[in-house]
Amino acid sequence: MRVLAIDSSGLTATVAVVEDEQTIAEYTVNYKKTHSQTLLPMIDEVKKMIDLDLSSIDAIAVSGGPGSFTGLRIGSATAKGLGLALGKPLIHVPTVDALAYNVYGCGDLICPIMDARRKQVYTGLYSFSHEVKDGTHLTEAAFHVEEQQMAIAVEELIGKLNAYKRPVVFLGDGVPVFTTYIEENCKVPYSFAPAHVNKQRAAAVAALGEEYYKAGKLESAEEHKPEYLRLSQAERERMEQHGNS
C-alpha cells in the first residue's frame, strides 16, 4: 500500500509518502511562508526525489481539521484536486489524532494542543495500550481515543487532565503559548514532547491513514470536507454584527 499524505492544518507544512510500513519520503517546513506557496512545490519535489508516479498511490491521506481555517482549505483543495485528477480515494485523518500518533507507544496520557486563540485550544486525549505475547514480547501498541478532538478553553482542559490523575505529555503549537499556564496549574506529572515529534508530521498522517484505509474509512474527493470544529473569526464577527443590528 502506498499513501501520499498532506498536512497544512497549522504553521507546519508537511508532505510524505509511506509505503506499507516504510516512510519513503517526508518534506516538512515550519517557516515564514504561506501554505499556498509551499505545499504544491513540496509535493512536486518529493515526487522528483523518489521518481514517484502519482498514479501508483493507493490513496491520499489529508489532515482534515481542526486547525488553521486557511491552512485546512489549502490542504483540502490540494487533496481534492489530486484525488479528482488521479481517481484516488481520500482518507480524512483528524488533525489532533495524527499529532498524538507522533508519540506512538507512549505510556503517558497524550494531549496535543493547538492554539485556537481566545485562550482556547484544539485538543483531544489519547493513549496506547500494549498487548504482550508469551509474557516477554510486545506485539503492538493499540491507539485509543480517550476523548475526541474538541475546541475548549485551556482552563477546562487542565481541569480534565488533573481529574485523570495520570502523567501527561503535551505537544503541538499550543505548547509555547500555554507553557506558563500549564506550569502553574497542571497538578499531575507532565512533560513536553521533543522537537522531532512535537508538530504535525505527514508521515504520522500517512501511517494512521493506512490504519483507516484497512478499516475501510475512505471517502471520495467530492465528499471530503474539512472539520473546523468552530466558526471562523469572520463568521463570528458577522454573527455578532447581525446580533447587534
- Dump pLDDT digits (tens) for 26-81: 999 998 888 999 999 999 999 999 999 999 999 999 999 999 999 999 999 999 99
How far is it, in rounded angstroms, from Cα 160 to Cα 187?
Answer: 11
Does residue 38 contact residue 95 with C-beta atoms inside 8 Å? no
**The three grid cell numbers given for residue 176, joined into one nine-digit string:** 509555547
Instruction: Dump pLDDT digits (tens) for 83-104.
Output: 999 999 999 999 999 999 999 9
Instruction: Dump pLDDT digits (tens) for 129-187.
Output: 987 666 666 667 899 999 999 999 999 999 999 999 999 999 999 999 999 999 999 99
Q: 24-62: buried (b, 16+ CB within 10 Å) or exposed (e) per residue? A: bbbbbbeeeeebeebbeebbeebbeeeebeeeebebbbb
| Cα Rg, the chain, nearest whole Å | 18
pLDDT at 63: 98
In 30-77, DSSP assigns E strands to: 59-63
